[in-house]
Amino acid sequence: MTKTKLHLLVRADRIEVRFEHASYQLTRVIVELPALPWFSGVRIRGDDWKPFGAREIEVGDWVFDTRFFVEGPERLVVRMLDAEMRRLLLEAGSKGDLEIREGTLQVVALDHRLPEVLPILLELAQRFMRQSTNAAPGLAANARRDPEPGVRLRNLIHLARDFRDEQLTHETLRAACRDPSPQVRLQAGTALGAEGRDVLRELAEDAEGTIEDAISSLAVAALGAELPLERVQAILRRSLRDRRIQTARVCLERLGRSGDTTAVPTLAKILALEKDELAIAAAVALGITGDEAAEPPLIQALDRDDNGLGVAAANALAHIGSAASVLPLKEAARSGDQALRQAARQAVAEIQSRFHPGASPGQLSLAQAEAGQLSLATDPAGQLSLPPQEPEKGPGG
């Protein structure tokens, strides 16, 4: 004899609730909302249901984001899933398998938990129905009040991007400049432009040493040329002392682009003393300076057996190198490192093109008559050579 599956339908306040038998001691509770076009594209379910390669929306709450897989219009989802909504969803998910899709809320739960599940689903349904179509106030409220800094940040990003000219946005950004989260302050200071420069300087200089390396480096980059060179030097010294590598790298680039000749000695010293990525960053910055004083330290760096430093030095010399760089680059081109060989050959070719446009590769020589100048080699093999010196004439000859 086949058992009959029981169904129960209840309607109240434009909400339809159905109870369906799922399996032994399990019931599916389905809460169907009235037609909400914006809501039909939202889908929330357990993270273990995440399809391979699917694009997931994270709202910035680690607990919620690891528990649920969320799809839908990102700005809508970020605004809608405020602290209370996330709490209710987490509570519902703790009592059964929760899924929201196509305008319905569903939970498959043990029969004895139905009295606990139903009130939560009805509260969620009411909250979904009360959502406003005006996104800015909700984003602003979340950016100011949500207990999770990641949620505040994401709401602030959407508010600043999509409603940048509204007064509410400017007020919220100003308030966010005092947010406990450095990342939120960074976003607010960047979005405010000139008005947010003081906040960015505080993050960049990090007088108390409490700001994450990534945050201070982004603040330095956002300030760009507006950060005085002496402050960049001070931040760089502190970053090297505390091994804040990301901030140090941004400072090195800033020095390279400053156009100030006093930057070259600092960069050369760091190139000589540091290793790996900081030495490489210093080499790149020396190449950016365009200063002839940057050439000797870069030539010396060609012989160093650091990861990628020789390549960085060769690439920098390609931009600023003179005749003095050609022989060291030729030597480097004979090394066992394929990347360095290629970079050195390319650097020689670029130096050649600057001094003798149209010359064929390898056709450079050092002219004896004009020390330090480049000339074309007469050797048909196209080798780098020194033209033979003319014999000295005797007295009266």
Res. 35 pLDDT band, cuts 50 70 90: confident
* pLDDT (mean) for 371-387: 42
Contact 104/32 with Cβ under 8 angstroms? yes
Beta bridge partners of 31: 17, 105
- Return the exposure string of 145-156: e unless at least 16 CB atoms fall within 10 Å of the residue's CB, then b: ebebbbbbbbbb
Res. 366 pLDDT band, cuts 50 70 90: very low
Vertex 181 angle, CA 180 and 184, to 5°: 120
Q: Indicate whether 385 pLDDT > 60.
A: no
Q: Tens digits of per-residue pLDDT, 64-79?
A: 999 999 999 999 999 9
Q: Tens digits of per-residue pLDDT, 160-212?
A: 999 999 999 999 999 999 999 999 999 999 999 999 999 999 999 987 788 99
Q: Tens digits of per-residue pLDDT, 40-60?
A: 789 999 877 666 666 789 999
CATH superfamily, domain at 294-379: Leucine-rich Repeat Variant (1.25.10.10)
* Sequence-distant (≥ 6) Cβ neighbours of residue 51 within 8 angstroms: none
Single-letter code of the amino acid located at 371: A
Residue reference for tokens 């209710």? 88
Q: Indicate whether 392 pLDDT > 90.
A: no
- Token pair in block for residue 164: 């940048």
- Token pair in block for residue 114: 């139905």
* pLDDT (mean) for 312-334: 92
Beta bridge partners of 380: none
In the three-class reduction of DSSP (H, G, I as helix; E, B as strand; rest coil), residue 202 is classed as helix
Vertex 221 angle, CA 216 and 222, to 5°: 95
Contact 309/301 with Cβ under 8 angstroms? yes
Q: Tens digits of per-residue pLDDT, 226-253?
A: 999 999 999 999 999 999 999 999 999 9
User: Looking at residue 306, what is its pLDDT?
Assistant: 75
User: Looking at residue 369, what is its pLDDT?
Assistant: 34
- Return the exposure string of 291-320: e unless at least 16 CB atoms fall within 10 Å of the residue's CB, then b: beebbebbbebbeeebebbbbbbbbbbbbb
Vertex 361 angle, CA 357 and 364, to 5°: 75
Q: Tens digits of per-residue pLDDT, 255-306?
A: 999 988 889 999 999 999 998 899 999 999 999 999 999 999 999 999 887 7
Res. 382 pLDDT band, cuts 50 70 90: very low
- Token pair in block for residue 95: 């009592």
Q: Indicate whether 371 pLDDT > 50.
A: no
User: Looking at residue 102, what is its pLDDT?
Assistant: 84
10 dihedral zone (left: phi>0; alpha: psi -120 to 50; beta): beta
Specify which of 98-102, 250-254, 378-382 reaches the highest per-range mean pLDDT: 250-254
User: Looking at residue 15, what is its pLDDT?
Assistant: 84
Q: Tens digits of per-residue pLDDT, 100-150?
A: 988 899 999 998 999 999 999 999 999 998 888 889 999 999 999 999 999
User: Looking at residue 22, what is its pLDDT?
Assistant: 86
| Residue 101 parent element (H or E) | strand 97-101
The residue ranges of every structural domain in the chain are 7-129, 133-191, 294-379
User: Looking at residue 358, what is its pLDDT?
Assistant: 54
Q: Indicate whether 376 pLDDT > 50.
A: no
CB atoms under 10 Å from CB of 172, counted, come to 26
User: Looking at residue 131, what is its pLDDT?
Assistant: 86
CB atoms under 10 Å from CB of 54, counted, come to 10
